[in-house]
Amino acid sequence: MSEPTEQELAEAFRSAPPIVLAAGPSETTATPPPPNETWELPGGTAWVYYGAGHTTLTRPVILADGFNTGPSTLEFSWEGLEVKNHAFISQLRAAGKDVVLLGFEERSASILKNAETAIAAIQRANSERRSDRRLVVGGFSMGGMVTRYALAKMESQGIRHETDVYFSYDTPHLGAYIPISLQAFAHYIRKLDKRFSDQINSDASQELLWRHIETWDAEPGVSGVRNDFLAALEAVGGWPQIPRKIGVANGVATGVGNGIKAGETAVKGKGLGIIGTDLRTQPTDEEALAAALRVITWKKGETHAAGLPGVDGAPGGTLHGFGILADTLNKILGLGVNDLIREHCFVPAGSAVAVRGLDTHDDLFRAIEPGEGELDEFLCSSRNEEHTKMTAELCDWLVERF
């Protein structure tokens, strides 16, 4: 069997679905019931389901969608929040809450832009609710950052949001993590298929990622786009001050990691067109080789990432980032790989509950104590589990506080 040509690989990539490093189902089979209302908003859509016994909007709970590429869809949200694991939408409606699923025209657009859609949804909910019950507003993953900024901006401008509770569900308040090796591979194959690279370099991705590289041979650092976003967040006060602020994490508070070791090979090329590729978890040794890169006959490249802690194994919500890439490559002739490690920590528990960042091993692995951080109250999961996985443990805790 001969090695595939660059043209053949480019055609194969273009015909395959894009590689998307994001939580939630890659495909949906859910058929959600028709919503009671659909709101067309600037930059997005909201799908409204009344709570039990309601015939009008009475006790709205706004749930903002998280990071991905392309537009939010009702089917995707329904699959993740109702079908795949715990039936959170049904739980809320049974408790008399009206569910407002907030989606965006482009989920990888700037958090600042999508926050304008969230503001429009908050104002619409307040104009339509037929009770004196104030709102619950929040979101999942990036959605928690979008609504955090939206509420804080409204307060900074003297706009009433009538919100009693702000919540976040495994939101990367202090940063999210995609292995440098995966980022490097995305940029390395850009001339074959730029979609993976575009996702890593999207505004929302750069705003969320703790460390980012724009090209495969760049040195990891804090993106200027993230710095601009953090400055904008600080300019509106950092957090909304009026509502009670609560949050949950898909990672544990004990400091016990997920068992993934630093500097281990996660994805290794075995097909003729990719032999030599070696994508690793974040190394902590002096060599700091994060990735060896080779596709077809291109010169082999190396990406180094020195001075960073072993985030892959940290306690927190996980993402099957290595697995998502491997599954795509294994469908392309000549690009077969061994996927030795499929997942990595994506949102460390300390980031999800706004206690501490990702800068050191101690930050990542030290136990989290009640009362720490910026939230008024939080709950960490009893196990490290998939990022934004809906569980009875976390959802019951939230509903009791809504």
**Model pLDDT for residues 330-372, shown as the tens digit of each residue:** 988 888 999 999 999 999 999 999 999 999 999 999 999 999 9
Q: At 297, is the secondary structure helix, strand, or coil?
A: coil
| Domains of the chain: residue spans and CATH | 6-21+175-221+257-348 (no CATH), 37-174+226-255+352-401 (3.40.50.1820)
pLDDT score for 2: 62
Kindly report the CA angle at 42 between 231 and 23, in degrees rounded to 5? 65
Q: Give residue 56's pLDDT.
A: 97
208-224 pLDDT, tens digit per residue, is: 999 999 999 999 999 99
Share of the chain above pLDDT 70, in %: 97
Q: What is the pLDDT of residue 297?
A: 67
The closest of 151, 141, 73, 68 to 116, measured between CA atoms, is: 151
pLDDT of residue 243 exceeding 80, the answer is yes
Taking the C-alpha atoms of residue 52 and residue 99, their distance in angstroms, rounded to an integer, is 11
Higher confidence at residue 18 or residue 382? 382
- pTM tops 0.85: yes
Structure tokens at 240: 């909304």
Distances (CA, A) of 111 to 25, 64, 67, 143, 351: 22, 12, 10, 9, 17
**According to the model, what pLDDT value does residue 13 have?**
76
| DSSP state, residue 58 | -
pLDDT at 332: 87
By C-alpha distance, which of 145, 123, 97 is closest to 41?
Answer: 123
In one-letter notation, the amino acid at residue 72 is S
Q: How confident is the model at residue 26 (pLDDT cuts 50, 70, 90)?
A: low
Q: Which residue has the higher pLDDT, 69 or 296?
A: 69
Report the percentage of the chain scoring pLDDT > 90: 87
* Residue 344, CA distances (Å) to 111, 268, 322 in order: 24, 16, 8
pLDDT at 309: 97
Lowest mean pLDDT among 147-156, 282-291, 389-398: 282-291
Residue 131, strand partner residues: none
AA identity, residue 13: F
Torsion angle of the four alpha carbons 361, 221, 341, 272, in this order, in degrees rounded to the nearest 10: -150
Mean pLDDT of all residues in 227-254: 98
The CB density around residue 40, as the number of other CB atoms within 10 Å, is 8
Between CA 72 and CA 64 the distance in angstroms is 10
